[in-house]
Chains A and B, each alone.
Chain A
Amino acid sequence: MVKEIERYGIPIIHMATITTISQSVGANRIVPTVAIPYPVGDPSMNEKDEHELRRDLVLRAVKALGVNVEGPTQFE
C-alpha cells in the first residue's frame, strides 16, 4: 500500500515495528515503532508518558514528510 500510494507522488511515512519488511517492500520514509500490537503506544507506561512517547513518534513521522530522501531512509 505504501508504495502504491507514493506512486501518485504523495509523500508517505511508514510507521512500522518490523522495519526489515518495510524496507523490503520499498517504503522510502520509515519511522521504527514500539511493538507489533501497539506501534505508537506502550501500555506499561502511565497515560502521560505514553502520550509523550506517541507524540514524539508521530511528530518525527510528520517532520519526515518534510524531508527529501534519495531512497529508503529510517528516521530514528
Chain B
Amino acid sequence: MKIVYYVNQFFGQIGGEEKAGTPPQYVDKAVGPAGGFQTLIKDEAQVVGTIICGDNYFNEHKEVALKEILAMVKDSGADLFVAGPAFNAGRYGMACAQVSAAVQKELEIPALTGMYEENPGLEEARSEAYVIKTGDSAGTMRKALPLMAALGLKLLKKVAPGLPSEDGYFAQGRRVTVFSDKRGSVRAVEMLLKRLAEEPFVTELPMPVFDNVPPAQAIADLSKATIALVTSGGIVPLGNPDRIQSASAQKWGKYDISGKKALKGDFYTIHGGYDPVYANAYADRVAPLDVLYELKEEGIIGDVYPYFYTTTGTGTSVASSVAFGKEIGKELKEAGVSGVLLTST
C-alpha cells in the first residue's frame, strides 16, 4: 500500500524562510518526517513520495497550490495521505489542514495530519481529516509520529479508528453509534450518583463552552475620559513598517498619533480581505481619528490615547485574536485608558 506525504520547505529540507515561496514539488522518496513515519510503519506500507511546498507559496496562492498538490496526490495512487505534523506553526498548519481536508473530501483518500490545539489550521481540517494532537513545537516530533503512524495504519487497513481520546486525535464533531453493555438510563443514574458523591465522571455529550465577558462599567464622565482607537481593519503607516500580515495576522502594531488630527495621508490599509481603495484614499473611514480629535477639541471627550493599535482581522485565528486582545488590553489598562473604540471591516 502506498502513502504520500506532505511537508513544508523547512521539513522538506529545501531551506528556511527564504525558500517559503517555493511552489509544490514531488520527490520520489520519504523526506524529513516522512522518513520517521516510514520507519514506524515498517514494511506494512511504503511512503512512495513526499510533496514539498513553501508555506508562503501555499498561503498566498491557495487555489493554485491546492490544485497542483491534489493532482500530485492523485497521480501517485496513494492509499493514505499524511501531512505534517505542523505543531503550532500557523502557515504550515493552514497548509496541512487545507490539503488534508481537500484530499479527504475531493479524492476520498483517507487523510491524516497533526497539530497543536491552538493551531489556526485545526478548525479547517478536523471535521474532514484526522488531526492528531501534538505539542506546540517540533521538539515533540518523537511523541507525535508514533500516534500518527498507529492511526495511519488503521486507516490503511480500513479498521475503524477508536474514540478521539483513545487514538489521540481531535474530535471531529461526529456522533457515531457505539454499543454499550448498559442502557442509557443506567449510565445516566450512575453518572448522577458519581456527581452527587463528587467523584470524577466523564460526560457522553460535552456541551459547547460559551465564554461571555460581563459588560464593563460605563464611563461616568466622558469629558474626562481618555479614549483609545483600535482597529482590525489593517490600517498602518504608509510602507507598513512592522510588516503586519495582510491576512492571518501574527502580530499587531502600535503607532504614535499624539497631536495628529487625522490618519488620512499618512496611513493606508494592508488588509487583504476588502477593497482597499476607499481606506487608502481616507484611512479615517476605517479608523476615525479625525472625528475623535474633533470631539476632544470640543471637550466632549477628555483625550485621545496617544497610541493607535492595529492588526488585520481577516483569516486571523481566534487564538491569535485572543492573544492580541490580551496584550493590547494589558497596555491600555496599565495606561489608565477609560474606554476603547474598536472598528472592524
Contact = CB atoms under 8 A, between A and B. Distances in A.
Interface of A: 1-18, 21-22, 26, 28-29, 33, 36-41, 43, 51, 54-55, 57-59, 61-63, 65-71, 73
Interface string B201-217: 00000000001111111
Given A11-B340, A17-B344, A63-B222, 13 more contacts: A1-B311, A1-B325, A3-B213, A4-B321, A5-B329, A8-B329, A15-B344, A37-B274, A41-B282, A54-B285, A55-B294, A65-B218, A67-B218
Contacts of A55: 291, 294
A46 B218 CA distance: 35
Contacts of B230: 1, 5
B215 A37 contact: no
Contacts, number: 176
A44 to B, nearest CB: 10
A47 B334 CA distance: 38
Interface in B151-178: none
Nearest to A1: B325
A3 to B, nearest CB: 5
B277 interface: yes
B278 A62 contact: no
B51 interface: no
B326 A40 contact: no
Given A37-B278, A54-B290, A1 B225 contact: no
A6 B213 contact: yes
* Residue among B222, B274, B301, B325 having the largest count of chain A Cβ atoms under 10 Å: B325
Select the residue from A5, A65, A71 with max chain B CB neighbours within 10 A.
Answer: A5
Top-4 shortest CB links A-B: A4-B325, A41-B285, A1-B325, A28-B215
